[in-house]
Amino acid sequence: MANGSTYKTCACKDEESGKKLGKKCPKLRRVGGNGARWSSTHGKWAYQLELPAHADGRRRSPLRRSGFASLEDAEAELDHARGLLVLDDDARVRRQITELMLSVLKDTKRLPDIEEVRRKVRTHQDLNRQVTVAEWLEEFMKRKRGLDDTTRRAYESHVRLYLNPYLGDIRLDRLRVSDIAGMFDAIEEFNEVIATERASGDPARQARVRYRRPVGPSTVHRIRATLRHALNVAIKQDRLLDFNPAAAVELPPAVRPKPVVWTEGRVAQWRLDHEAHLDRTRRLRDGKRVDPIAVYVGAPRPSRVMVWTAPQTSDFLAFARRDRLFALYRLITLRGLRRGEAAGLRWSDVNFREATIGVHWQITQLGWRPVQGKPKTEASDRTIAVDAETMAILKEHKKRQAKERLAVGEAWVESGFVFTDGLGRPLHPQHVTDAFYWLAYQAGLPPVRLHDLRHGAATMMLAAGVELKVVQETLGHVSSAFTRDTYTSVYPEVAAAAAESVAALVATHPVSPNPPRPGRGRRASAGDGGGVLIHLPTT
């Protein structure tokens, strides 16, 4: 046990020298029947504790603490300090504990918690490294050198917009579950602010949140995943923590929006909402030009994910037939390519003889900057079959591209991509989206996102009876479970046909000429459904 003692001291000064008397003040003791006793009214209690020497053997000044109102309080903190020093017999660890004690006392005027230090000693953490959440996240990002550009941008966005503003100033080893839960509560409250300001009808209030988007459930889970990963690295590599508070935060499930079909009734309601949205926008713009595409896309719709019916899809393809990127939109519509995969398709991956295309490249968007690269997952790197008509359309597209190359001459860029601008350069992904919205608007169709064409392709394949495994591989999903859970929307006419088929199967099933008698089976109990015969095999 480390040496230590308690005593009383005061702030009285010697009249001649002016020096503090401390524990030598005669008023601290009073004469009683059993000799000198401590005064109950003068001075405060204190303690002194010998500390381990420095690493070079130099003696360290004792720890002295005063100002305690009672002897019990002084002895309690003295025992606390002694308990810290005996957590480990190793001299190096005891020196670390000593430095931690002195540092925490200086900052907080309190000794560190014994159990917290015990956990750190047991897990061999650096006791004297005090890192804030922001400092650790900066270190974490420096270490993640192998991230692709898209993932790195997502991590940086989570850190910059949410983790640092809400948690950055907290010491990493003091980060609690309640701190992280509070961050998500604040994000949810700001979502409500954004919705309120946008619905106010006041242009000034709407301008305040013009560039702020509500944080959806999926993004909330991704923010938590980024923090959880960073804290796991702090636990496993640097031993700065022994518990990951981000893993214990409860969040509502990130429910994926189900694709909803544009039925006749939904289209009729959308047209009314679109007109109302257009009138409201014109009033707010007060005579200024209104962007028809912005109004078209921004009008309320039944779900964020909308799917065209087969006739609507056919109308779009018929209208888009005149566009130079028609082959691109047809591939997305029928084969479910992602935007980046379609933009990144190369002629070297188009096999006209076998009627297949290889999805081995993509052009994604990082901010505004287009980024070329491989598909993110192994399942996304795939070869898919293409119907004969689409292959013929690709041949026409190749001939048209050859004419464009001849027309511009030396200005042409040999990029090797199937879909390019007028000079042969790769397409910017946003250009593909903008052109799609314009085509859909001109065709008079209800709005869907470009990515919703992929949902539509999945829905049409499932409705046409294509096996789930084939749909999964065509779309480039990792598992068929994801495909099944995401694309459960079917066209209403298909659902009606399925219901009629089941009813017809029951209606046409032959009735047994010899129904089972009670003696050949047992009558179900009330819990079995009441009165239903359950046939038992005879032996």
pLDDT in tens, the chain (539 residues): 457 899 888 888 888 888 888 888 888 876 554 545 788 888 889 999 999 998 888 899 999 999 998 999 999 999 999 999 999 888 888 998 998 899 888 878 889 888 888 877 887 777 766 789 999 999 999 999 888 888 888 999 999 999 999 999 998 988 999 999 999 999 998 888 888 887 777 777 777 877 778 888 889 999 999 999 999 999 888 778 888 999 999 998 877 777 889 999 999 999 999 998 888 888 877 778 888 888 898 888 998 889 999 999 999 999 999 999 999 999 999 999 999 999 999 999 999 999 999 999 999 887 778 889 888 788 899 999 999 999 999 999 999 999 999 999 999 999 999 999 999 999 999 999 999 999 999 999 999 999 999 989 988 888 888 888 898 999 998 887 777 766 655 566 566 666 666 677 666 655 555 655 554 444 444 444 444 433 444 43
Which of the 8 DSSP states describes residue 161?
A: I
80 and 25, same structural domain? yes
269 and 229, same structural domain? no
Q: What is the pLDDT of residue 298?
A: 84
451 and 341, same structural domain? yes
Give CA separation, 484 vs 87, 130, 368, in Å: 55, 48, 33
Query: Rounded to whole angstroms, how far apart are CA atoms 106 and 247?
Result: 32
**DSSP SS3 for 401:** helix
Contact 100, 83 (CB under 8 A): no
72 and 143, same structural domain? no
244 and 264, same structural domain? no
340 and 310, same structural domain? yes
Q: What is the pLDDT of residue 115?
A: 86
Length of the chain: 539
264 and 241, same structural domain? no
Cβ-based burial of 302 (10 A; exposed 0-12, middle 13-18, buried ≥19): middle
219 and 342, same structural domain? no
Please count the structural domains in the chain.
3
Residue 501 lies in a domain: no
Q: What is the pLDDT of residue 490?
A: 59
Residue 536 lies in a domain: no
Domain termination residue (choose one: 222, 248, 274): 248
303 and 231, same structural domain? no
Domain termination residue (choose one: 204, 227, 248): 248
- What predicted TM-score, i.e. pTM, was given to this entire model? 0.64
Residue 274 lies in a domain: yes
Residue 533 lies in a domain: no
Contact 344, 357 (CB under 8 A): no
Residue 529 lies in a domain: no
Q: What is the pLDDT of residue 493?
A: 58
Question: Could you tell me which of 76, 64, 68, 77 has the C-alpha nearest to residue 43?
Answer: 68
63 and 25, same structural domain? yes
Structure-block tokens of residue 340: 């980046």
Tokens 């479910």 found at = 336
Strand partners, 132: 171
Read off the CATH number of the domain in which 409 is found.
1.10.443.10
Residue 519 lies in a domain: no
Strand partners, 47: 6, 65
201 and 268, same structural domain? no
**DSSP SS3 for 154:** helix
235 and 302, same structural domain? no
Give CA separation, 249 vs 216, 231, 243, 372, 535, in Å: 17, 13, 12, 36, 51
Residue 227's domain comprises 133-248
Contact 163, 133 (CB under 8 A): yes
Q: What is the pLDDT of residue 127?
A: 72
